[in-house]
């Protein structure tokens, strides 16, 4: 069944509404998203949690550790594609646009204040993410160093300029593209 709106403007509004909802609902299928980078010709993709989507600002936000490979890659090439998938609706969304890395600035400090205490340890590993260790427990900060977490905490924020939406549905599959012109979204139907 085709479950998303039939008209392009309503479809775009629904798309952003779904992402905004996913930004604060744990378990929403769009809450986890594949973030794909391309640096020096090397593609790399990984799952991150969507922390916030803002339709008016056209932004998508994720959190990471400043020492992570993806953050280094995004500093070199601040463009990424965000790949969302809702298996029940059979909807795929690809979103892309330039990114800003916020580390040690107001955006990062404000976001850190809202990170739940239990999640703060995610950013406080004593060694950089991806370092080889002898056992998994060696990645845990002991005792938990709150300041280390704050110092590594990084906000990845993209301003979306292109959206590609695809629904595998009945009676037909549908695909739409939305491009930001600088003033408004230009919408089109595409062959799926
Ligand atoms: C369900 C799930 C959620 C994840 N969320 C994040 C996240 O929000 N931020 C993050 O940096 N890594 C997250 N990760 C880990 C990344 O997928 C990745 O393995 C790690 O960050 C190292 O990636 P990198 O070497 O490309 O930096 C998550 C992994 C899973 C499986």
Instruction: Parse the chain into domains and list their residue ranges.
Output: 8-127+139-190
- Ligand 1, atom 11, lies closest to the CA of 64
What residue ranges in 50-90 does DSSP mark as E strands?
Answer: 52-54, 59-65, 79-86
* Site to substitute for ligand 1 among 30, 47, 152, most atoms within 8 A of C-beta: 47
- Ligand 1, atom 30, lies closest to the CA of 47
Determine whether the shortest distance from the Cβ of 45 to ligand 1 is under 6 A: no
For residue 1, the model assigns a pLDDT of 74
Determine whether the shortest distance from the Cβ of 62 to ligand 1 is under 6 A: yes
For residue 142, the model assigns a pLDDT of 64
Ligand 1 atom closest to the Cα of residue 37 is 26
Distance 48 CA to ligand 1 centre (A): 5
pLDDT per residue, tens digit, the chain (192 aa), is 788 999 999 999 999 999 999 999 999 999 999 999 998 889 999 999 999 999 999 999 999 999 999 999 999 999 999 999 999 999 999 999 999 999 999 999 999 999 988 888 889 888 899 999 999 888 876 666 677 789 999 999 999 999 999 999 988 999 999 999 999 999 999 999
For residue 68, the model assigns a pLDDT of 97
72's CB contacts (< 8 A; 6+ apart) are: none
Determine whether the shortest distance from the Cβ of 60 to ligand 1 is under 6 A: no
For residue 148, the model assigns a pLDDT of 78
For residue 170, the model assigns a pLDDT of 87
Distance 13 CA to ligand 1 centre (A): 28
Supply the Cα-derived Rg of the chain in whole angstroms. 18
Q: Which tokens go with 150?
A: 């704050």
For residue 23, the model assigns a pLDDT of 96
- Ligand 1, atom 5, lies closest to the CA of 48
Determine whether the shortest distance from the Cβ of 32 to ligand 1 is under 6 A: yes
147 in helix, strand or coil? Answer: helix
* Reported pTM: 0.96
CA torsion 109→54→22→139, rounded to 10°?
-30
8-127+139-190 homologous superfamily: Electron Transport, Fmn-binding Protein; Chain A (2.30.110.10)
């Amino acid at each position: 069944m085709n479950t998303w709106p039939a008209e392009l403007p309503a479809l775009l509004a629904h798309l952003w509404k779904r992402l905004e909802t996913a930004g604060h609902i744990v378990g929403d299928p769009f809450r986890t998203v594949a973030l794909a980078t391309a640096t020096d010709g090397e593609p790399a993709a990984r799952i991150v949690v969507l922390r916030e989507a803002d339709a008016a600002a056209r932004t998508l936000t994720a959190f990471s550790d400043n020492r992570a490979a993806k953050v280094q890659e995004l500093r070199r090439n601040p463009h990424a594609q965000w790949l969302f998938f809702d298996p029940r609706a059979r909807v795929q969304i690809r979103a892309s646009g330039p990114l800003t890395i916020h580390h040690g600035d107001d955006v990062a400090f404000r976001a850190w204040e809202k990170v739940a205490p239990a999640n703060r340890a995610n950013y406080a590993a004593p060694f950089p993410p991806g370092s080889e260790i002898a056992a998994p427990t060696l990645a845990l900060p002991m005792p938990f160093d709150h300041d280390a977490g704050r110092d590594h905490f990084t906000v990845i924020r993209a301003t979306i300029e292109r959206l590609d939406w695809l629904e595998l549905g009945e009676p037909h599959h549908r695909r739409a593209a939305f491009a930001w012109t600088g003033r408004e979204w230009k919408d089109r139907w595409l062959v799926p």
